[in-house]
Amino acid sequence: MDTPASADREGISRIERMCIERGLKMTGQRRLIARVLSESEDHPDVEELYRRAVAQDSRISIATVYRTVRLLEEKGILERRDFGGGRARYDQADRGQHYHLIDVDTGKVIEFADPRHREIAQEIAARLGFELVDHRLELFGRRFPEGQAPATPRRPGKPQDDEA
Amino acid sequence: MDTPASADREGISRIERMCIERGLKMTGQRRLIARVLSESEDHPDVEELYRRAVAQDSRISIATVYRTVRLLEEKGILERRDFGGGRARYDQADRGQHYHLIDVDTGKVIEFADPRHREIAQEIAARLGFELVDHRLELFGRRFPEGQAPATPRRPGKPQDDEA
DNA sequence: GTACTTGCAAATTATTTGCCTGCCC
DNA sequence: GGGCAGGCAAATAATTTGCAAGTAC
């Protein structure tokens, strides 16, 4: 009840609205991907996005998903992430500065924020003669053993993701 | 003049010594790769390692380079890095905790150390209920404009590397 | 109507692997 | 001497692209 009149109809997802604002031509496929993304609370890879999209409408190909996430990244709507699983994962770009902790045993991804990192990063860049343009930080951790010991104490396996 | 008698001959590279210590069978190819790595001050990718190796002895294939860096990584001699160029880059594992700043205009990589990041990372992990197993931090920066403005203010291009 | 999108399949890129031969310990 | 290592080429895996046909504005 608080959106501008022109886009007040139900069924317009948050990301679709952002696409429209940026003047993208909205096709059925793009609308679908936009909706899937808007409803995702996690960090899906392309394969996963494709799976969720096909489930709603089979008339989409994975090549289109690849093309669309790339487009949305160029438009600043998505950010590409690398959690070390060999596939790119996507994150909405306007969720504010945050980082990720990956559970090395389960692959789950937990978000957190902490302004100190940026400050220190900025200071270090300056000391080296640079203006900080961007920075990435990922933590890999193991849940404290409060129950039993985990089975595979290895390097981060294919990250899955938290469901919320 | 301070190395153990058994490996005192010139021509034994630092990394070859580490391989021997870990009981690896030393072939001509592995010795060559070890030497190339020992002489590298930067963060070469496999292709680059292969180029440097073939230049010294053409009887090596890129598959062997792939197999060898993987082996050395498993043995804890090398660390695989991802600077966002789509290829894995390698770093000697025993150089102590350090991070990288990538110049977004030139792709050059600069190393730096700062203990605060680890401390904060550890603290955050603990707050989230995790033991910190590993962490990655990369800064992307642009040299302060003290001469002229850079040409392409874009996202990090294929990282090259500092030559020293 | 026309330029932009899509689907499909083929192309690319980075990396791994099968297999048979060769060489290190 | 026997098993691990290496070369070569084919196999994977993720992602991109050419092209003909469809569609948004």
Task: List, for residues B75-118, the tens digit of each pLDDT value.
Answer: 999 999 988 788 999 999 988 899 999 988 888 899 999 999 99
How does residue A157 score in pLDDT terms, banded at 50, 70 and 90?
A: low
Please give the C-alpha separations between residue B122 and each of A5, A121, B135, in angstroms, as whole numbers: 48, 17, 9
Maximum distance among all Cα pairs of chain A, rounded to whole angstroms: 56
Residue corresponding to tokens 């990655």: B136
Task: List, as one string, the DSSP characters of B87-151.
Answer: SEEEEETTS-S-EEEEETTT--EEEE--HHHHHHHHHHHHHTTEEEEEEEEEEEEEE--SSS--S
Q: How far is the CA of B157 from the C1' of D24 (A)?
A: 34
How does residue B2 score in pLDDT terms, banded at 50, 70 and 90?
A: very low
Q: Is the pLDDT of residue A86 over 90?
A: no
Please give the C-alpha separations between residue B157 and each of A151, B51, B104, B123, B154, in angstroms, as whole numbers: 39, 21, 7, 33, 8
Higher pLDDT, A118 or B159: A118
Q: Is the pLDDT of residue A3 over 50?
A: no
Q: Is the pLDDT of residue A1 over 90?
A: no
Q: How far is the CA of A94 from the C1' of D22 (A)?
A: 33
Q: Is the pLDDT of residue B60 over 90?
A: yes
SS3 B78: strand
pLDDT digits (tens, 9 = 90+) for B128-151: 999 999 999 999 999 987 654 444
Q: What is the pLDDT of residue A139?
A: 94
| Mean pLDDT, residues A105-111 taken together | 88
B112 touching A (Cβ < 8 Å): yes
pLDDT digits (tens, 9 = 90+) for B3-52: 443 333 457 999 999 999 999 999 999 999 999 999 999 999 999 999 99
Q: Of A103, A120, A155, which has the smallest distance from its Cβ to B117's Cβ?
A: A120
Residue corresponding to tokens 């793009």: A30
Average pLDDT, chain A: 85
Q: What is the pLDDT of residue A133?
A: 92
User: Residue A117: left if φ>0, alpha if ψ -120 to 50, beta else—which one?
Assistant: alpha
pLDDT digits (tens, 9 = 90+) for A10-33: 579 999 999 999 999 999 999 999
Q: What is the pLDDT of residue A11?
A: 74
Which one of A73, A110, A123, A136 makes the best mutation probe of the B interface by having the most chain B beta carbons within 10 Å?
Answer: A136
Scan residues 1-60 of B and list those with Cβ closer than 8 Å to A: none
Number of other CB atoms surrounding residue A38 within 10 Å: 15
Can you say how many angstroms the Cα of residue A131 is from the centroid of all Cα atoms in its chain? 25
Q: What is the pLDDT of residue A107?
A: 82
Q: Is the pLDDT of residue A155 over 80?
A: no
| Mean pLDDT, residues A122-130 taken together | 95
pLDDT digits (tens, 9 = 90+) for B68-81: 999 999 999 999 99
Which one of B124, B127, B131, B138 makes the best mutation probe of the A interface by having the most chain A beta carbons within 10 Å?
Answer: B124
The answer to whether A139 contacts B131, with C-beta atoms less than 8 Å apart, is no
Q: Is any atom of nucleic acid chain C found less than 7 Å from the CB of residue A56?
A: no
> Which residues on B lie below 8 Å from A114 (Cβ)?
120, 124
